[in-house]
Amino acid sequence: MKNQKYLNMPDWLSSPENYSPVKQKNTFLQQNRGRLLNLLSLFSDKTETTSQPLNRQNSFIQLLTTITLILLTSLSRNISFIWIIYMYQFLQIALLPKLNMLTILKRIPINLVFVLLFILPSFFLTDAKTVIFFVLKTNLILIIVSYFMNTNTFFDIIIVLKKCYFPDIIIFIIDITIKYLKILSESLYAMTSAMELRSVGVNRHQYQSLSNLFGSLYLKTKSTALEMYSAMEARGFTGNYHFTRTKQRLNLSDITQTCITIFLITLFFN
Amino acid sequence: MFSFSNIRYGYTDKLSLNNINLSIKKNEFVCLLGPNGSGKSTLFKLLNGLIYPSDGQYTFNDQQINAHFFKNSVNAKKFHQQVGFVFQNSDVQLFNTTVYDEIAFGPRQMGFPEPEVNKRVIDCLTLLNINKLENRVPYHLSGGEKKLVAIASVLSLNPDVLVLDEPLTGLTAQAQENIISIMQGLHNAGKTIIMSTHNFTQIKDYVTRFIEFSENHTIVLDAPTKLVLTNSDLMVHLASM
Ligand SMILES: Nc1ncnc2c1ncn2[C@@H]1O[C@H](COP(=O)(O)OP(=O)(O)OP(=O)(O)O)[C@@H](O)[C@H]1O
Ligand SMILES: [Mg+2]
């Protein structure tokens, strides 16, 4: 080999390491890295994970539909009508790709528990029938919302907000916050991984290490924010927020959905 | 030592590694090449047990590496001591309050007495020519300095296998040469080195084997350096990447 420079390799580094770790229960980090991953996936755009264009509906129509459905549900006093919306919503969920379908379905029991917790006290005030009706309604609204969140990326939602003439600055703040949270959580994940990779034995100062980690994360967030702002200023950011819109044309499923919504509205008033 | 068979991995439903078959023996000095986004870093994460394959098998010293393997803390710790990993982004790899503590983190965990820890830290600082950074805060270092500290903090564990994701990027020519001679020294000492780079010409005289990834996240070339150096078309192709 050419260019063999003389290099002072310390002895310990040029001989194999005979190290055997002691048995010990899993550390805080090892126990919680999985949980962190789950948390991380909250920030990732759901629709980006499925490349199927099948369900790509017009976000504007979807938002209108969602709002209409929520209104109808909350105003309705007719149990059969609520069931119809339930059925319609589940039909829509059933048409989603498996991954999205599962995330929505998994949420339902959790939502139900929360709704029950909040409503439980009123069991003692009114009759059970009213309470159950109310639980059904609240649960349905949550399903409708989570359907919307699962079929639209944050980016879609921002475009809809823009179409509804939301002020630029608010849209900008929402957009940046979401991206920022994602970057932040990814750094946190990467740092805990790095720490775990080098946690090869007993850490006598486990909690100090963790607090150091969060300390550097905090410093990082500060400088990331400042750097991002400078970068935007350097590129001439003035406060107007433009972005490329992909033209969303109405397709068959949008039209079907609109028809169904109109049908539900007429049903409501009958 | 490492063996991958029919490995597939996707962060989402898009694959980032497609049908990877690969085995790496002890004391090889392997270099991964390939375009941006071809899957080099992903393979490294897999190799270090940060992610698990969606499909296929990964074994290390005939031991299957999966979530179950890492459940056992002795396994995990032994594995992480044996296989050291320098991230592509050293920003996220430093989490201590001083450079000294950063490098001492590993040896302290391994239970060495403080004088031995101190020796290791000083040796690593000297090896990488960063003695003057000893008491600095890692967070405030420059990009290149962070990279050197990250490398030092992994070296202090004295791993058998050193995995370095683009260790030369962002360093001065002198620092790059130094890193190359350290890798060479470790290789001569019997260690296994696996690295990635975008600069074929710079390392072609040191590594023993080249692996090239394609844009389709598959391996398109896997050849010993001897063979590569005699094929001038291949040389031109790799140098132009
Ligand atoms: N955290 C992630 N989430 C989703 N996709 C990812 C993630 N990390 C990488 N990818 C995707 O996986 C593919 C492979 O990425 P990888 O980082 O392994 O490439 P690479 O070969 O290391 O590239 P480079 O030379 O730029 O470092 C890319 O298409 C990338 O978009
Ligand atoms: Mg990479």
pLDDT digits (tens, 9 = 90+) for A24-78: 666 666 666 666 666 666 555 544 444 444 456 677 888 888 999 999 998 888 8
The pLDDT assigned to A41 comes to 60
Residue of B nearest to A21 (CA): B74
Does residue B191 sit within a domain?
A: yes
- The residue nearest atom 7 of ligand 1, judged by CA position, is B11
Q: Tens digit of pLDDT for each residue in A224-247? A: 778 877 887 788 777 666 666 556
Q: Tens digit of pLDDT for each residue in B119-175? A: 999 999 999 999 999 999 988 899 999 999 999 999 999 999 999 999 999 999 999
pLDDT of A138 above 80: yes
pLDDT of B103 above 90: yes
**Of A5, A201, A220, which has the smallest distance from its Cβ to B111's Cβ?**
A201
Q: What is the number of the ligand closest to the CA of B212?
A: 1
Least confident range of A89-93, A170-174, A261-265, B192-196: A170-174
Quote the number of domains for chain B: 1
Centroid of ligand 1 to alpha carbon of A10 (angstroms): 36
DSSP letter at B202?
H
| Residues in chain A closer than 8 A to B51 (CB atoms) | none
Does residue B215 sit within a domain?
A: yes
Q: What is the ipTM of this complex?
A: 0.84
The pLDDT assigned to B101 comes to 92
Mean pLDDT of the region B212-233: 91
Does residue B223 sit within a domain?
A: yes
What is the reported pTM?
0.77
Range of the domain at B176: 2-92+161-239
**Of B92, B106, B186, which has the smallest distance from its Cβ to A190's Cβ?**
B92
Task: Parse chain A into domains and list their residue ranges.
Answer: 57-152+249-270, 154-192
Share of chain B above pLDDT 70, in %: 100
Does residue B196 sit within a domain?
A: yes
Report the residue among B7, B14, B20, B42 best suited for mutation to probe ligand 1: largest number of ligand atoms under 8 A from its CB. B42
Least confident range of A92-106, A205-219, A228-242, B59-73: A228-242
Q: Residue B48 sits in a domain of what CATH number? A: 3.40.50.300
pLDDT, mean over chain B: 91
The pLDDT assigned to B27 comes to 92
pLDDT of B32 above 90: yes
